[in-house]
Structure 1
Amino acid sequence: MTWLQIRLDASPDTAAPLEDALLDCGAASVTMEDNADQPLFEPPIGETPVWAHTRVTGLFTADTDMVAVLAGMQAIVGDLPNHRIEILEDRDWIREWMDSYHPLQCGERLWICPSWREPVDSSAVNILLDPGLAFGTGTHPTTWLCLNWLDRQALEGLTVIDYGCGSGILGIAALLLGAEKLVAVDTDPQALKATRDNGERNHIASERIDCYLPEDVPADLRGDLVLANILAGPLMELAPRLASYLAPSAPICLSGILDTQGEALIAHYATWFDGLVSDNREEWLRVSGVRNGPA
């Protein structure tokens, strides 16, 4: 199917009104993207960041009268910014994405392999992954940092808690590397479903994975290792809870932290953890340490 799209240059003040106008004029979808290669990092609570130079794109069916759309938008928002209308030929976007996603080595033993590709090294520990509807493909620096850390741990027989499990990639990696049990926690039910599905894809028995929404986590939950690849803000709030899951000397691995946030997060976690160290990849950090207290 052929589509028509209109692309408009916008600022933080005009992006939202243009989005509303496109939808009011019949757009099937509206997307916003960076128009000047400007990174956006974790925003303050309650704020929605928008790039200083944003491209707003509205998608319309091929039979849409785009002259009428432009007139309708002008009636809503006034003079339109720089814009252009294009014909968008239909493409198999899923297939193109699948073709671009390649196996990734995350340590000496560990590889992430898309479920539709053959492993590069059949003798390695290969996680067969289908991200599905949840975040976590292994390509993001924070995920890679955690996987690289896991690759160097002695995990045999441990119970691992993956808080903010996403696709389940970290917890499943831990199981394939020798852990006995995974407790996966996420606020998104789709993430829990993806974790179960990816566990099955990796031939992990269902009884080795327990999945919970945060409000359903057992009050007496204890583990031997905690993983949390979220963001710095939630990690700060979760520190007492994550610490409560661990006995003294048990390890923790945290990521989703910008290098500018590392010092404050380490100072905060030092209340509950000793030996905190960080490692970086691009502008992101991984922080790891062990639960303090009497042995």
Structure 2
Amino acid sequence: MAWLQLRINATAEHAESIGTMLSANGAQAVTFVDAKDTPVYEPKPGETMLWPDTQVVGLFDASDDMPSIIARLAQSKLLGNNFTHKLDPLEDKDWEREWMDNFHPMQFGERLWICPSWREVPDPGAVNVMLDPGLAFGTGTHPTTSLCLRWLDGLSLTGKQVVDFGCGSGILALAALKLGAGHVTGIDIDPQALQASQENARRNDVADRLSVYLPDDQPSLQADVVMANILSGPLLELQDVITAYCKPGGKLVLSGILAEQVARIEAAYARDFDLDTSAIDGDWARVSGVRKLA
């Protein structure tokens, strides 16, 4: 079966009402997507948290009469005649198989390869990280992750203590361990991310050098290297927490940053770090530096 996706830009105030309208007009599923770079934190009991700029996505059968549906939506007071929307075809596929078929081994820098666990490694003599992301974020295909991986490949990590703040699938933690780090502490708000990190660590025979924690359980420590590939909002809000993990003279790398947000991140972290020239990859950026000694 083929499908159609109807995307409508909304505010948090109106997103749920628009979602209800889509369901009433035949949408098989409705999802809410962050339309901008804005984190959403744990809701209170009974509370639904949405982003200030939210995209409401309705999934429709391709045989549905979409012109009539859009016309009915346009008659509502909430949307009006000129509401912004986009209609895209979505072919029905085995999406997991499609993704697996298109996830190939990738090289980062001179030594490091990220390899799907179901494929042969192209260079057995390289530093190979075998990865099965599961439900957690992080495969190396996104510029934010690849920027950090290339940075890691250029470091001497032998015996170093590392913190991976927002570890996701564990890809950065595993890369650091395979590049010689003595121990990595992974921290994430998502228990599934911690599980994925541990499973990937076992797959790479480095589980004895990885510890993972939820934020409320995170230990007090100072590491030689701190990595935080999250978003600019949390990087700013949690600046003191992230900085505290990095010992004086230690190295820091930050990503999940849009190129247009670099100046603000640099201005904040320059308080405690001597910053390198930031790296840009398309719309995304990496900020790195060394913590000041005093």
TM-score range, shorter chain: 0.7 to 0.9
Match of 1:49 among 45, 50, 53: 53
Contact 2:5 2:89 in 1 (8 A): no
Structure 2 SS opposite 1:224: strand
Distance 1:156 1:87 in 2: 49
**TM-fit CA distance, 1:59:** 4.6
Distance 2:31 2:156 in 1: 44
**CA 1:109–1:44 in 2, change beyond 3 Å: closer, same or farther?**
closer
Distance 1:7 1:255 in 2: 30
Q: Please tell me the root mean square deviation across aligned C-alpha atoms, in Å.
A: 3.6
Letter of the aligned partner of 1:98 in structure 2? M
Partner residue in 2 for 1:12? 10
Partner residue in 2 for 1:170? 172
Distance 1:120 1:6 in 2: 38
Aligned length: 278
User: Which of the two has higher C-alpha Rg?
Assistant: 1
TM-score computed with the length of structure 1 as normaliser: 0.80
**CA 1:10–1:158 in 2, change beyond 3 Å: closer, same or farther?**
closer
**CA 1:82–1:276 in 2, change beyond 3 Å: closer, same or farther?**
closer
Q: Deviations over 1:93-118 (max 9, x none)?
A: 21111111111111100111111111
**CA 1:43–1:33 in 2, change beyond 3 Å: closer, same or farther?**
closer
Gaps of 5+ in 2: 41-49
Partner residue in 2 for 1:277? 277
**CA 1:23–1:116 in 2, change beyond 3 Å: closer, same or farther?**
same
Contact 1:32 1:57 in 2 (8 A): no
Which deviates more from structure 2 when the two are superposed, residues 143-152 or residues 266-275? 266-275
| 1:93-108 map, 5 Å | 93-108=95-110
Contact 1:146 1:255 in 2 (8 A): yes
Distance 2:90 2:284 in 1: 36
TM-score computed with the length of structure 2 as normaliser: 0.80
| 1:85-164 map, 5 Å | 91-164=93-166
**TM-fit CA distance, 1:138:** 0.3
Structure 2 SS opposite 1:266: helix
Identity %: 47
Structure 1 SS opposite 2:278: strand
Letter of the aligned partner of 2:233 in structure 1? G
Which deviates more from structure 2 when the two are superposed, residues 225-234 or residues 269-278? 269-278
Partner residue in 2 for 1:181? 183
**CA 1:11–1:186 in 2, change beyond 3 Å: closer, same or farther?**
closer
Letter of the aligned partner of 1:246 in structure 2? C
Contact 1:136 1:169 in 2 (8 A): yes
Partner residue in 1 for 2:216? 215
**TM-fit CA distance, 1:16:** 5.0
Structure 2 SS opposite 1:261: helix
Letter of the aligned partner of 1:242 in structure 2? I
**CA 1:164–1:28 in 2, change beyond 3 Å: closer, same or farther?**
same
Letter of the aligned partner of 1:212 in structure 2? Y
Partner residue in 2 for 1:233? 233
**TM-fit CA distance, 1:275:** 3.6
Asked if residue 249 in structure 1 is aligned to residue 249 in structure 2, the reply is: yes
Q: Deviations over 1:113-145 (max 9, x none)?
A: 111111121211111111111111101111000
Asked if residue 267 in structure 1 is aligned to residue 264 in structure 2, the reply is: no
